[in-house]
Each structure stands twice: as C-alpha cells, then as structure tokens.
Amino acid sequence: MIELRLDGELVLASEGERLLDVARRVGRRIPTLCDHPAVEPEGACRLCVVEVRDRAEGPGRVVPSCLERVQPGLDVRTVTQEVKLVRQTVVRLLLRRAPESAALRSLAEEVGGKSSEAVREPTEPAEINWGKSSGAVWASEENAGGAGCVLCGICTRLCAAAGYDAISIQGRGAEARVSGPGGEPPEACTGCGVCARACPTGHILLAESGGVRRIWGRRFEMIRCGGCGEATLPRELAELESRRLGVTLVELTHCPTCKRRSSAEKFGELPARRTREGLSESGPMKGVAR
C-alpha cells in the first residue's frame, strides 16, 4: 500500500491507483468530463485538476487527477485557489463550444466564478463548427437538438474499445470535430449507439422510428425480437456480433423481456412436465399408475 496525504488527511492507496479514484474513495468530489469507467483516461478536458507536491518541499504542480497515479509521500490538494481558477477557465471555454449542454451548465454552477457568468451569456452557435457531414447536422435537422461537441473523446475511445473504431476527431482547433474518415458518415459504424449514450453534452443524437435507427448520418434497419416484435438491434451490428460471439441472430435479437419470459417458462415447465409424466424429484409419484 502507498501512503499519501489528501487535503491534509493521511490516506492509503493501492499501487498504480489514480488520484481521482483515491479522492472519490475517501469522499472528495472532483468534477470530471472526459473520464469514463469503460475506457482508459486521456486527460482531454483538464477539469479534474488537483494540486500536488512532494511532501518534503518544492512548488505545487496542477495535474489532471484522472491521469496522475499515486506516489509515496505525495501531498494532494483537491481545492486550492489555482485549482479553482483552472476549473473555472476550463468550464468557460467548454461552454463556448456547447452552451446548450445541461451537463456543462451544471458543472459551471459547481465550479462557480466566471464560468457561472458564462452560462448567462447569450449562446454563440456561430462558434461551433458543425461541419457538413457531422452527425450533428443530421441530428439538428431531424431532431431539433444536439448540443455542441467539447472534444472529450469519450465517443471515439468507446467506439475503438468496442472494436468498431468508426469515428475519430478530425481537424484541429476550431475546425476539430468528430466524424468518420474524411469528415464523412462513418462506414464502419454498426449503429450500436454506445457513443450517443455516453456523450456528456448530448451532441450525438440517435433517432429510431419505423424500424430504422439513424445516427451519424447513417440509417440502420433494426431486427425485431422474435417474441414480441420490438425493434432490438441494428441488423449490421447483430450480424457482426452473432459471428463474433458464435450465437444465432435469433438468440441475439430476443429482447430482454422475452428472454426472461422464455427462461421463466422453461423453468416453470419442469414441475408441470413431472406432474404430467407422473414423476417426482426422486421417482414415480404416489398414486400415479405407471
């Protein structure tokens, strides 16, 4: 175990543990935006900063706690004047990219200072480069929504971790945006929707109607559950995963309710069959002619 100080308190941590996880474990609240439990940290937003110094001496360093690992004797401060200023500046800049984002607005309230003033400023849609073929153009046309993208990279990392690697951050600076190769709708996309569910600003919109799912400017025919007819998975995704996992399409596309019902029926069938066939757990039932 490694011993370190966190806001003056002595704490124990495991080798290789991130400062963010240690802080959370002992009840400190550190705001984050680009951290996601399913993928490796990237340090993209800098919202989770803390101040660290060697306990002996030396100046403090402001570091992202999602990247920094524990060190013996480290002295970590989760709330200092510098930490507050960095967080407020980060939120203010992010709000310029996604002023409509409810998550960012609530982070601005949390970190206070000039970030919360930024929430009241008029929104600046002209600063957001939606790009001709980005998912958001399609989304805003069809769904009337979709906040800006803050380039946190959660969607691209999740997509790569799922093995699809369909999207990436293209371009730089104000031109940077997430899309398929060459700024086109991603051909490798399976329509799984993982990216849309995880996007902290709601930039990636996913719409489903009439047995068709649409995301990133692409259309996916949905396969229906063999039990109740509910649309469950995009056909492309189901076919790919059925080959990968070695299960049939029918098994894969049964909805959770029908799967539960089918298991319950199979389970419930056993005593009924035993009664029909005149069997008890240990042999023929009393009074039943064999």
Q: Which stretch binds ligand SF4 (CB under 6 A): 77-85, 161-169, 238-246, 260-268?
A: 161-169
User: Residue 18 carries which DSSP code?
Assistant: B
Q: Does 194 bind ligand SF4 (CB under 6 A)?
A: yes
Which residue, 154, 143, 141, is CA-closest to 42? 154
Q: Does 150 bind ligand FES (CB under 6 A)?
A: no
Name beta bridge partners: 51. 62, 77
Are residues 78 and 6 in contact, defined by beta-carbon separation less than 8 angstroms?
yes
Q: Is 230 helix (H, G, I), strand (E, B) or coil?
A: coil
Answer with the entry of ligand SF4, ligand FES, none that 44 interacts with (C-beta below 5 to 8 A by kind).
ligand FES
Q: How many beta carbons lie within 10 A of that of residue 177, not counting itself?
A: 21
Spatial separation of the C-alpha atoms in residues 215 and 207, rounded to whole Å: 7
Q: Does 33 bind ligand FES (CB under 6 A)?
A: yes
Beta strands in 61-114 (DSSP E): 61-64, 74-77
Q: Does 91 bind ligand SF4 (CB under 6 A)?
A: no
Spatial separation of the C-alpha atoms in residues 194 and 26, rounded to whole Å: 30
Contact string 59-98 vs ligand FES (x = CB under 6 A): -----x-x--------------------------------
Q: Does 153 bind ligand SF4 (CB under 6 A)?
A: yes
Q: Which amino acid is it at 15?
A: E
Q: Does 151 bind ligand SF4 (CB under 6 A)?
A: yes
CB of 82 to ligand SF4, least distance (A): 26
* Residue (161 or 207) nearer to ligand FES, CB: 161
H-type helices in the chain, by residue range? 19-25, 81-97, 102-111, 114-120, 135-143, 154-161, 194-198, 235-245, 249-253, 256-277
Spatial separation of the C-alpha atoms in residues 23 and 26, rounded to whole Å: 5
Structure tokens of 186?
């991603």
Q: Which stretch binds ligand FES (CB under 6 A): 41-49, 52-60, 197-205, 277-285?
A: 41-49
Q: Does 50 bind ligand FES (CB under 6 A)?
A: no
CB of 93 to ligand FES, least distance (A): 13
Q: Which stretch binds ligand FES (CB under 6 A): 4-12, 33-41, 167-175, 215-223?
A: 33-41
Are residues 252 and 241 in contact, defined by beta-carbon separation less than 8 angstroms?
yes
Q: Which residues bind ligand SF4 (CB under 6 A)?
A: 149-155, 158-159, 162, 164, 166-167, 178, 186, 189-195, 199-201, 203-204, 215-216
Q: Which residues bind ligand FES (CB under 6 A)?
A: 32-35, 43-48, 64, 66
